[in-house]
Amino acid sequence: MPLIIIVLTIVLIICSILYFPTIRIKNIKFSSYWPIALIGALLLIVTNSVSLETIINTFTSNNSMNPIKILVLFISMTILSIFLDEVGFFKYIANKATTLLNGSQIKLFIGFYILISVLTIFTSNDIIILTFTPFICYYCKNSKINPIPYLVSEFVAANTWSMALIIGNPTNIYLASAFNIDFIEYLSVMILPTIVASIVSLSILYLLFHKSLENKIENLSIDNVETPNKALLIIGLFHLITTTVLIAISSYINLEMWLITLCFVISLILTTTIYFIIKKEKATVLINTIKRAPYSLIPFVLSMFVIVLSLNNEGITSSISNFLNKTAPILSFGVGGAVAANFINNIPMSVLFANMSLSSNASIYASVIASNIAAYITPVGALAGIMWMSLLKTYDIDFSFKKFMGYGTLIGIPTLLLALLTLSIII
């Protein structure tokens, strides 16, 4: 019974991502994947496949793998990024970059890849994708150039550089927490595989699209974007930069990362509230920021934890672990993780892999690489892919599942293998 419930839940999650990503009830619209995961988890509890006591102990455990702490950390960091987006920081930067690089598609292509990479490191790949995709669609349509090279490049850059820092992706946070890997240790190992993955992916992107990029931009289209509110911009940047610095030294000052991010989100809310009261203005930026936070991750991640606990009880986790540990852990967990993520999404894959009796830190880092680069291959691989494909439909961009897999396989497989090779040299 537990296996039937788990398999059906995973199949339905994949189907929801492919065929009905959103559900609308009257005026309320929400993603379909998390209610399916939640129902699956509740069925496992009702059928006694996993006990409530085990779930409560997991969700209240005082360790770095506590799912509540991980969710607080990621959602808090996302809120800090969303605030800057609401202030207009990312759109302003994108517009300035377009102004400087306009005229040459090759310069614009490479410049956008670098810009998105840098912004992703310190913010969130999901926020960057949500912000830049509409901008790229609008710009390319009005400039009468092919948007596909820029959109694919944006998606690849965001999901490559999201693995550079521990805070770049919830999968990084969870997998690193499994072995108590701190910010500095993580960065020291992952920075080189990230750089190699970036060089490889950018090279392949250029080979795929260079002919299209040789055409000059005949119809220049640049909007006059308003300069962001300086006070709000300073508040947002101060909170994001300070939070990142404190997270980097959290193991030395004996403060948990989730607590640091939560405190700074509360500080951001209080500071901006006081600002709007003094200015006698509506707190639209703050309200929109809070509304846009990825709350759907909460039931999804917690439900996937319940499913993994059930797999542990059935002995399936240990069987998979034994199989993967028979060969070189970096290759088996890296390739196995990428395959698994494209069947069950990278968040469940990370929860599953972190619960295995991993043989070494090498397995953890290989799983991190897999959880990020898996997003290239199919939209199922990461939530970023689901959101990205949904946005493309909104802007009438013809980009099918088949095209996604075609480009994703050509870029993803060499990038994954060379990133794993670099990791094996470092480890």
Q: From first to last of its 427 residues, what are the pLDDT tens digits of the chain?
A: 888 998 899 889 888 877 887 888 888 888 888 999 999 999 999 998 888 998 998 888 887 668 888 889 889 988 998 999 899 898 888 888 777 766 678 888 998 899 999 999 988 788 888 888 888 888 888 778 889 999 999 999 999 999 999 988 888 988 888 788 889 999 999 999 999 999 999 999 999 999 888 877 766 555 566 788 999 999 999 999 999 899 888 878 888 889 999 999 999 999 999 999 999 999 999 999 999 888 988 998 899 889 888 888 878 878 888 888 777 889 999 999 999 898 878 888 888 888 775 657 888 999 999 999 999 998 888 878 877 887 888 788 888 888 999 999 999 999 999 999 999 999 8
What is the distance between the alpha carbons of residues 298 and 67, in angstroms, rounded to a whole number?
9
CA distance 388 to 151: 9
The residues near 188 (Cβ < 8 Å, ≥ 6 apart) are none
CB 142 within 8 A of CB 221: yes
Helices 346-354 and 361-373: crossing angle, nearest 10°? 170
Q: Specify whether the CB–CB gap between 72 and 258 falls below 8 A.
A: yes
**H/E run at residue 22:** strand 22-25
φ, ψ of residue 24 to 5 degrees: the values are: -120, 125
How far apart are alpha carbons 306 and 312 in whole angstroms? 10
Q: What is the pTM of this model?
A: 0.84
